[in-house]
Each structure stands twice: as structure tokens, then as C-alpha cells.
Amino acid sequence: MHLFNTAFGVAGLAWRGELIVAVSFPEGAESAAAARLKKHAPGAVEKTPPPAIGKICDEIAGLFKGAPSDFTGVGLDEESYPAFDREVWRLTRAIPAGKLKTYGELAKALGDVAFSRRVGQALGRNPFPLIVPCHRVVGAGGAMTGFSAAGGVDAKRRLLKIEGALAPDLFDLGANGSRNR
């Protein structure tokens, strides 16, 4: 695993070969990021990442500064997860930056809007946040619900503003009218 700084705090990434095993959404402390990673990658130890993994870490850090990112080609170690979860994650990965989908829309794409709760549960188990951009999934009518990462719904809203899916509000503007991030 590798821990690295972002504008939101310390994030982390665990890998096996060329596949990502887990991502830690930024936390306030290294120990919290490491603990979150170890839930999905028990026994992971801090080490220098190979170049391809280091590039993903750099892109994640850049995302929190507003840099465009595209994680669609990143390989995930997801075979041990239920097929339903993997399908939810596949659909979620297809949501482009700056766009939102609802739990109901994903459920309908899976065959039945009644799957909405199951979609939310699958996203709650997502070990690959940011690469599987669960922050782009919202409740009906755009309600900011169901975000278990550090910072909760406020972090989700902040990230969606960075990606351009939500407009900045009064509290996002600095004294000179420029956007705060």
C-alpha cells in the first residue's frame, strides 16, 4: 500500500500486481487512511509503488485540485465480490466527471428500480472510491445521501463541485469572487 497527500487529506491505495485492491478516500490522518485500506487489503504494508500505480496516486491527488482524471482503464481486483456489486461498480465507472446518476437510474439499468436499496448497499461496500466514483450517485431529486467516506456528504458535495457536477455556492467563493477549493 501507499499513502499520499491530497488537498482533502491523506489518501491511500493498495494493489496486487497491476490490479487495485483498495483505495482510501482522504482521511485526516495517515493511520485512518491505512486502517481503511487494511479493511480490504489485510496485511498491506507501506511501500513505494511501481510507476503505473504511482501514476494513479498522482491522478487521485490531482483530482482533489481540480485536474481532470479518467480511471476507466484502471484494473480492479474485484473477482471476490458478488456479481451484483461488480455490475453496479461497472455502471458507476461509466458516469463521466461532471455528471450525476441516481440510485434509481442505476437500479433501472440493472433491470428493476426496486434494486435501488441494493445499489446503495453495493456502493457502500465499494473498496475503490474515486476509481469507482460512487460520489457521482445521488438520491432521487439530487439528494446528497449515502456517502460513508471521511467527511460524509460534505466531502461528496465538495468533490462534485470540483468536478463541475454542482455549481459553487456562496460559501465556495473567496473575497475576490474566485472559487475556493
Q: Which candidate in 134, 149, 159, 165 is catalytic? A: 134
Give the pLDDT mean for 158-180: 72
Longest Cα separation, the chain: 50
**Does any domain span residue 125?**
yes
The pLDDT score that the predictor gives to residue 175 is: 46
**Does any domain span residue 76?**
no
Q: What is the CATH number of the domain that holds 87?
A: 1.10.10.10
- Neighbour-count burial of 108, counting CB atoms closer than 10 A to its CB (0-12 exposed, 13-18 middle, 19+ buried): middle
Same domain, 95 and 150: yes
pLDDT for 19-65, tens place per residue?
Answer: 999 999 999 999 999 999 999 999 999 999 999 999 999 999 999 99
Instruction: Respond yes or no: is residue 57 known to be catalytic.
Output: no
Cβ 12 vs Cβ 6: under 8 Å: no
* Domain total of the chain: 2
Say what the pTM is.
Answer: 0.89
Cβ 2 vs Cβ 53: under 8 Å: yes
**More confidently predicted of 170 and 130:** 130
pLDDT for 112-145, tens place per residue?
Answer: 999 999 999 999 999 999 999 999 999 998 888 8
Range of the domain at 7: 2-63
End-to-end alpha carbon distance in the chain: 27
pLDDT of 103 above 90: yes
